[in-house]
Structure 1
């Protein structure tokens, strides 16, 4: 058991951010309950049993922001609990820093629980809100198509589910089960604490020991890979839609933190990462085959997804053009100046994100998955990527699954 306390002492921000990360193995039997717990923690506590009372207390702390979220990250399920406050140096006669620690203490040790069960009214409210979230996925054709792609690529794997879990488990969740999930999270998760702002590390450590005192376990994460297939898996689903949706899953041989990892980030940017990319410029702008198109990656897993909205009549041609654009990368038909532009834009985006408290926390937390890479090493890794590196990596890539949503009238 240990404490993982991380600081960024900077005068760049007028706020102080305190963030706790709870990391557990990605498990479909716990994701839904953990998602509900994350919301229950944020909204009320024993001392502030209604949302209005909690909001009033946050107002008294000069508009402090208490928040929580869940995320799938590198085969882990991550709950983030955080509070942002104004730095006391900008106010008179305040001790907001200690008040923020007291609030986290209240949330973690005195939840809104009676007889070892979370408040039933609030539980039912959160379950209803989560049910609406699942419904929203079905009604959003873009999200629905993406999750159908994941279900096809990872049929038995929790990666096929959104970070907030499985709607079929909602009915089985009650206040008692959620309280057990809450306790287990504090006892068994790998836990990291971050403090960002103009801070004194000794003061933060002292307040952490006084109010938080969470011990971190070490969790083991499973390696998740999509199903093996010799040929591209093509699935077509008929739904009520005015435009066809293409959801394409590709896999590559990527190993973090070696050269292939950095090459993959640059390859994605070049292929479909932004408005300067090959897919955007050729499939959308030049040939007008897509209303929108982009690619995104799960960088450490070597998974790349192309998501596009296309005219039904152009579906086959759009798929062929996407495949042709990728073949161009494999055969080295890419300009050095485009590689350089991608690297420059990637580095600028990274520097911008770490200019915000959230960016520092996320970058620092990502280093808890395997090898640690400093900001300087990361930038050097991107700068070192060559056209040849991108071509070599592209040769390991394949189109794993193409999932199309089409309407009945072709």
Structure 2
């Protein structure tokens, strides 16, 4: 899919020349070890870099510059994968081939250079007023996540089963830690990011790889840095527990965590993807069909698999008084899979949905980048068609045998103040 080259030790360029898209899609990713302390600092930093540089010193100037660049899209944000934290810069801009008498690529990279290397400093650090503004924005974003009770329930479940672990650390940081972030913290993290973070640069579009390699070297001259292997930490829970919390709300949230011996790097990962799809990944899956449709026990019911941590989750929104019955029916769906009771519809439609989702990525340059980054460490020869073939070869027996290795470890019930204990 992508051609890989090294710009400097620890700085890799991935290019995908294609005539499929009329725009150039660029993604620059700065990656380091995830900690509870650096997640919030790096998210504030990403905001500061986007809206505070010497070329466009104000938010208004930044947005006007993007308009002048034929509506170029450029933004920064943060994400996590496994035990790694990433600050990323994404940009989409018109290919020079469709413009007359203008080298838009050079202009866009001039802005990217300013964003990354020429922040608007006041006495050798970021402006205090802008820092306070962006810090407040990040805290507001974190607050809004936990206003969503389903997100809150999932976060609490992760805190309970994986305390002080990458699985339970938010990519944006925690409010209590964010409130104590200082200007000096951000300045130090900026230096670490530019000088020490592992860097991956992706470019997709109708372009010449060598040309872009030269442009990147001219505008973004990153020094050599050390790299470290990325890990999937599958810590184990010693005993099954149940937690009940009550909030002022109308609908209860029932979230169940299961441990599995599988991560994204396991040979059985494709089997787990099918297992999750049969269990609750789609509207035809067992959870939706039986818990929601047949028994009418849930407003929604689905499952998801956290491949970095080997954790499977069943989540549902229910009436508080239906907790025991709903949990029993959810438990039964996993037992059915373990016993090999998988219908042809559940099995074949899951494979079809997985393949369709993967193939739809072909229509999105951004999607191609994200899926390649996710899968390249699993399979260095990854292709969309090749991975789809892995699903084709999976049998019901494969899914059933893997399901027998899935262990229920924690039930988190977020209910109303008047709800069941």
- TM-score (normalised: structure 2): 0.93
In structure 2, runs of 5+ residues without a counterpart are 1-8
Deviation at 1:220, TM superposition (A): 4.2
* Aligned mates of 1:223, 1:12 — CA distance in 2: 35
1:27 aligns with 2:35: yes
Separation in structure 1 between the aligned mates of residue 123 and residue 405 of structure 2, nearest angstrom: 56
Match of 1:395 among 397, 401, 404: 404
Greater Cα shift, 47-56 or 363-372 = 363-372
Is residue 161 from structure 1 mapped to residue 169 from structure 2 by the alignment? yes
Which of 76, 97, 101 matches 2:105?
97
Q: Please, which moves more after superposition, 312-321 or 209-218?
A: 209-218
Tell whether the 8 Å contact from 1:25 to 1:220 is kept in structure 2 after alignment: no
Please name the residue that 1:149 is paired with.
157
Distance 1:255 1:171 in 2: 34
**Distance in 1 between residues matched to 2:149 and 2:235, nearest whole Å:** 23
| Alignment partners' CA distance in 2, 1:42 and 1:271 | 41
1:51 aligns with 2:40: no
Asked if 2 retains the 8 angstrom alpha-carbon contact of 1:265 and 1:299, the reply is no
The 1-side partners of 2:39 and 2:395 are apart by: 40
Out of 347, 352, 355, the position equivalent to 1:344 is 352
Which residue matches 2:14?
6
Contact 1:44/1:111 (CA < 8 Å) preserved in 2? yes
Following superposition, the deviation at residue 313 of structure 1 comes to 1.4
Offset, 1:108? 1.2
8 A Cα contact 1:264 1:302, kept in partner: no
**CA distance in 2: counterparts of 1:360 and 1:71, whole angstroms:** 17
Provide the TM-score with structure 1 as the length reference. 0.96
Alignment of 1:323-338 (within 5 A): 323-338=331-346
Q: Is 2:419 the partner of 1:406?
A: no
Following the alignment from structure 1 to structure 2, what is the Cα–Cα distance between the partners of residues 162 and 381?
Answer: 32
SS at match of 1:29: helix
Deviation for aligned residue 1:50: 0.4
| Candidates 140, 153, 162, aligned match of 2:148 | 140
Q: Which runs of 4+ in 1 moved over 3 A?
A: 220-223, 255-259, 367-371
TM alignment of 1:146-225, pairs within 5 A: 146-214=154-222, 215-221=224-230, 223-225=232-234
Q: 1:18 deviation in Å?
A: 1.4
Q: 2:253 matched to which residue of 1?
A: 245
Quote the Cα distance in structure 2 between the aligned partners of 1:383 and 1:259.
15
- After superposition, the C-alpha distances for 1:102-134 in whole angstroms (9 at most, x for unaligned) are 111111110122223211121111111122123
Say how many residue pairs are matched: 409
Give 1:80's match in structure 2, choosing from 50, 64, 88. Answer: 88
Is 1:357 equivalent to 2:365 in the alignment? yes
Task: Select which of 299, 317, 320 maps to 1:312.
Answer: 320
SS in 2 for 1:366: helix
Question: In angstroms, what is the RMSD of aligned CA positions?
Answer: 1.6
Q: Hey, what does 2:298 align to over in structure 1?
A: 290
Q: Is the partner of 1:21 in helix, strand or coil? A: strand
Q: Is the 8 A contact 2:282 2:350 kept in 1?
A: no
Shift in Å, 1:320: 0.5
